[in-house]
Structure formats: C-alpha cells, structure tokens
Amino acid sequence: MKSEEIARLAGVSRSTVSRVINNYPNVPEKTRERVMKVIREYNYEPNQSARVLAGKKTNTIGLFLFTIYDINSPYRIYNNGYFSPFVDSFVDIGNSMGDYMLVHTIYKPEECWRIRQTFLQKRIDGGIIISTDKSSELESIFRDVSHPIVIMDYDPSVIEKTMGPEARIAVVDLNDEKGINEAVDYLVSLGHRRIGMIAGRQTSYSGLRRRECFVRRLEHHGLPVDDRYMIKGDFTWEAVVPEIEKLIYSQQLPTAMIASNDLMAMAAIETFKRHSIRVPEDISIIGHDDIPTAAIYKPALTTVRIPFFDVAKKSMDMLSELIENDTPRFTVYKADVGLEVRESCSRI
C-alpha cells in the first residue's frame, strides 16, 4: 500500500494525501476526513525511507553507551546499575515523545566510527552519548559531525575546545561537587576524621573529578588526605576487592570511605564482611549513583543519588531543542544530586 493508491481510492492526488499525513492546514476538513478514512481502512503507514529521502526527519534518536566492561565480561553493560536506568529512561522518554530509539553499545574507542556512521547514513536526527573515558576518537566526532549531540560524563571544557564551528552539542553534567561535599560533610558530622576514598578510573571525567572534590572537601574540614586510604578502583567490582584486601592486611583502616560508584561500595562492603569487618559498625561506607539495588542491599547503601529519569528527560529536551534549531551552539546543564542517607554509615 502506497500513497498513490490511497490517493486513487480517496479520489485525490498524492499531494493531498501527503498534506493530510503531515497535518498541513491547507486541506478542508471534508477532504481530510475522506483521505483519513481510506488510510485507516487499509492500515496505511507511509514508507519511512521515502519520507526521509524526500526531506523529513527520521524521528529516530541514537543512544550510544560506552561500556566500562570488556565485551567478554559476564558483567555487561546494562547489568551495571548505572547504565540500565538510563537506557530505561531514555527509551521511555523517547517513545513517549513519539521517537524511535536506536540503542548502541560501544566497547572500545575504536568503535566510535559507528556513531559517525549512524549520523552520516542519516539514520538518526540526533544522538545521546553516555561516555566515560576521554578519547580522541570521540573528540574527532565533535569536530566532524554537525548533527545534534547531547553528551554525558564528559568534561565540558574539553568539548568546547575540540568541537567544530558547526557543532550543536549540549553537555549534561552532574553537580559532583555538591554530592561529594554532602557525603564528606555527613561523615564529618558523624565524627569521622580518617576518611578514605575508593576512586573511579582516573581517565574518566567523573572518576577524576569526584576524587578532586573529595580531596578539596577534606582540606576544607582541615582533615588529612592519607594516601593509604585512597584506593584506586576503576568503577568495577573486580578491581576493588584486591585493593580492599591490601588495605585490610595493612591493618591501617580508615573509619569511613566514600566510593565513586555503588558497585565499588558494595564490593568493598562484601570484602570487609568476608574479613569480619562490619559495615557500618566497624567502618562506614558511602556509595555514589543510587543504583536500583542500593536500597535493597544489606546494609541499605547510603549514597549520592543521581536522578536518572530527570537527567534523561533534561537530556532529551535539550536534544530536541538542538534538533529544532539548526544553528550551532553549545550548552551545559548541571544536574542536581544529593545524599541519600540509609544504613551504611554510623556515628563513630
């Protein structure tokens, strides 16, 4: 079934059918009705490719996720409580806006060409990129591609520097400073003075920055930044366990630790438990992100909450904005985060 047949059956031209489909005003109600009747009767849907080729939008949004796991790891991307709420939210929001969502997983920077390809093939109107690590491959996309992009977890200043003159990019940033400050302040208010950190990968924007904020806040309170308590993690469970074990063997424990994500917080808690160090009785732990399991976990995790849905909504709104306006521009949005107090910390 194509528009030509609809036209014939309704006794009009293809032009008129097209006007009806696109809801143009210049067609009388009676004609519109007649055409719609035929369209409904035959379950007609216009061919997407023909429409796009003739100049319409694709109504498709690309969602590109840079996973932190190896493709062979059994812990894959969406299992990661950080990504799945985002995928969830983005798909829902896109669908409810009438858009189709193309979801793509990127395992290595070298696969970035996939993003460019998707744009150049004109499969999507715009893209959401959830990245973690700084990569030159990604930055080359900011330079080349003039299509609307919203990016999360990337240093805004780097983007502003790298992006080409045609770029239409928005950055969604988290107010990490506020989140980390609240976490540190809370521990201080509970009497803690020996506070450590389980940091995220330092090649990532958020991993690096959360660590900086942490150090600054300790100094603000006049507390020592003890290198022995600064654990190098990489956002995954596996990397944390041996580091925490080393810490335990050193016999020098802090009284509290802040992790750069919840998974690492839980990995630490499990490791402490296995060595009969109780949380929160013996050591207090704060996570980051508030992934869905954080609340179910025992002890329920005190953590810095990311409002996943709101962040996704804001991102999609910004993307729509960029899609509608075809003038190059650059915007940064800083999303609010806040400490969610549960059971994993105690007064000293």
**Contacted entry of DNA, a second copy, none for residue 298, CB cut-off 5 to 8 Å set by kind:** a second copy
Q: What is the dihedral of CA 205, 139, 91, 50, to 10 degrees?
A: 180
In the bound complex, what is the minimum distance in angstroms from residue 308's beta carbon to a second copy?
10
In the bound complex, what is the minimum distance in angstroms from residue 234's beta carbon to a second copy?
19
Looking at the Cβ atoms of 144 and 317, the one nearer to DNA is 144
**Interatomic CA distance for residues 148 and 163, integer angstroms:** 12
Looking at the Cβ atoms of 4 and 324, the one nearer to DNA is 4
Looking at the Cβ atoms of 122 and 221, the one nearer to DNA is 122
Looking at the Cβ atoms of 21 and 223, the one nearer to DNA is 21
My answer on whether omega of the bond before 25 falls inside 30° of 0, hence cis, is: no
Say which amino acid occupies 200. G
Looking at the Cβ atoms of 44 and 154, the one nearer to DNA is 44
In the bound complex, what is the minimum distance in angstroms from residue 310's beta carbon to a second copy?
12
Looking at the Cβ atoms of 184 and 283, the one nearer to a second copy is 283
**Contacted entry of DNA, a second copy, none for residue 92, CB cut-off 5 to 8 Å set by kind:** a second copy
In the bound complex, what is the minimum distance in angstroms from residue 104's beta carbon to DNA?
21
- Residues lying near DNA in the complex (CB under 7 A): 1-4, 11-19, 21-22, 25-28, 31, 44, 46-47, 50-51, 53-56
- Scanning the structure block, which residue is given the tokens 């201080």? 188
**Contacted entry of a second copy, DNA, none for residue 293, CB cut-off 5 to 8 Å set by kind:** a second copy
In the bound complex, what is the minimum distance in angstroms from residue 33's beta carbon to DNA?
11
In the bound complex, what is the minimum distance in angstroms from residue 15's beta carbon to DNA?
3
**Contacted entry of DNA, a second copy, none for residue 57, CB cut-off 5 to 8 Å set by kind:** none
Looking at the Cβ atoms of 11 and 191, the one nearer to DNA is 11
**Contacted entry of DNA, a second copy, none for residue 2, CB cut-off 5 to 8 Å set by kind:** DNA
- Residues lying near a second copy in the complex (CB under 8 A): 43-50, 52-53, 58, 60, 71, 75-79, 84-85, 87-89, 91-92, 95-96, 100-105, 114, 116-118, 120-123, 144, 266, 270, 292-293, 296-298
